[in-house]
Amino acid sequence: MATSPNPATVGTPKKKDESFLDKIGTIGRKKKAKEVNILEEEGKMAIESPTSPTIPDVGPEGYLLDELEERSMIEPTSKEDPKVQELIKILLDWINDVLADDRIIVKDILEDLFDGQILQKLIEKLADIRVQVPEVTQSEQGQKQKLQIILSVINRLLQLQWNQVRWSVDKVHSKNLVAILHLLVTLARHYRAPIRMPDNVSVNLIVVTKRDGILQTKKVVEDITTINDDIGARFERDAFDTLFDHAPDKLNLVKKTLVTFVNKQLLKINFEVADLEAQFHDGVYLVLLMGLLEGYFVPLYDYHQTASTFDQKVHNVQFAFDLMQDAGLPRPKARPEDVVNQDLKSTLRVLYNIFTKYKGQGA
């Protein structure tokens, strides 16, 4: 017959004796947790008070601010604003178009851009440069060091004053949507991306500042875009808009006419074009064409004969525009950047502007 176990010999295991250091560590952890809880309650009381705007719960780390330190966050409803979502989609489509040759597909504007790798590829394509950075790294420190190099290159190319830069390494790496949008919108404008961004996109920010140990909050409206008067500007519709929209057959006839017109001049110096948008985008043929039509030699030091970078091509096209105005032609509707970006409608407008003045000129 089995006997019941002796309670003296079978029971709960004895608790392991804690050393003095273990006890100190436990006390320290409890103290830290208590501080966090106090700060969290302090933050929530300040935020939930009737005189303060409502802000999202960002957890204890959101309230661990130093004196006079400031932190901002987007109101959740602003992220879902249709205009914000439209802007994000347009920017993503633009990035994917630029990086199409590299077979890179960007799906998330925050998750795919925060470490700098996509930004590196993007600026290399836009500016036709090579950015020397360390190899891919997974460590936060390594990512930030790489991002610092990339953003420094971007800021230098954009030629912004320090107070015009609305992004930073910490903001981009922490996936700050506002900073990343500001960066991409500025790049798109500088390099005249062939996109139409929605006007007057803004987000509501909650700014939290710690003063005298108390969290103070305020709501700020942050403008991301205004009226796009410097990119894809709203010119009055002209004949080319109608041709593109309603008469593609006549458009082809216009293109053939302009090809014949320009080749009549360029063949004098043994040049010939077949593709208007591709062969005029660096501005060289535009400069040569104006020299031939006006009967003068354009000094070689005035333009880049083998333009390779975006800025060099813009310089050439702008120089050609200056020559046109010197010859009495009206200022072109198109921007130099539009021609460099191989926007066919813009290139046709420029060439047709020349054609209407010189079409009767003999060979």
For residue 357, the SS3 value is helix
Q: Would you say residue 233 has pLDDT above 90?
A: no
User: Phi and psi dihedrals of 144, rounded to 5?
Assistant: -70, -35
Would you say 255 and 277 are in contact if contact means Cβ atoms under 8 Å apart? no
Distance (Å, whole) CA 124 – CA 21: 54
- d(Cα 294, Cα 296) in Å, to the nearest integer? 6
In sequence order, the 6+-apart residues with CB closer than 8 A to the CB of 211 are 67, 68
For 163, list phi and psi in degrees, rounded to 5. -80, 0
Are 265 and 295 contacting, i.e. CB atoms less than 8 angstroms apart? no
Q: How is residue 315 written in tokens?
A: 């310089």
Long-range contacts of 208-211 (CB under 8 A, 24+ apart): 208/43, 208/47, 208/55, 208/62, 208/63, 208/65, 208/70, 208/71, 208/72, 208/73, 209/65, 209/68, 209/69, 209/70, 209/71, 210/65, 210/66, 210/67, 210/68, 210/69, 211/67, 211/68
Quote the CA–CA distance of 185 and 180 in Å, as a whole number.
9
Phi-psi region of 335 (alpha: psi -120 to 50; beta: other; left: phi over 0): beta
SS3 category, 34: helix
Across the chain, mean pLDDT equals 79
Whether the predicted pLDDT of 74 surpasses 80 = yes
Q: Tell me whether residue 332 is exposed, middle or buried, using C-beta atoms within 10 angstroms of its C-beta: 0 to 12, 13 to 18, 19 or more.
A: buried
pTM, two decimals, is: 0.53
Q: How far apart are CA 357 and CA 325, in angstroms?
A: 12
Span between the terminal Cα atoms of the chain, in Å: 125
> Long-range contacts for 113-117 (Cβ within 8 Å, ≥24 apart)?
113/172, 113/180, 114/172, 114/173, 114/174, 114/175, 114/180, 115/143, 115/146, 115/147, 115/173, 116/143, 116/146, 116/147, 116/150, 116/151, 116/172, 116/173, 117/146
How far is Cα 290 from Cα 89, in angstroms, rounded to an integer? 41
Instruction: Give pLDDT, residue 277.
Output: 78
Closest C-alpha among 186, 201, 221, 231 to residue 82: 201
Per residue in 296-305, pLDDT (tens digit) is: 999 999 999 9
**Domains detected in the chain:** 82-197 (1.10.418.10), 239-356 (1.10.418.10)
Mean pLDDT lowest for which of 87-91, 126-130, 189-193, 324-328? 189-193
Distant-in-sequence, close-in-space partners of 95: CB < 8 Å, separation ≥ 6: 106, 118, 122, 184
Q: Is the pLDDT of residue 251 over 80?
A: no
Per-residue pLDDT band for 41 (boundaries 50, 70, 90) equals low
**pLDDT value for 25:** 53
Q: Are the C-beta atoms of 347 and 262 separated by less than 8 Å?
A: no
Asked whether the predicted pLDDT for residue 3 surpasses 50, the reply is: no
Give per-residue pLDDT as tens, 258-289.
899 999 999 999 999 988 878 999 999 999 99
Q: What is the mean pLDDT of residues 19-48?
A: 51
**Encoded tokens for 39:** 């700060």
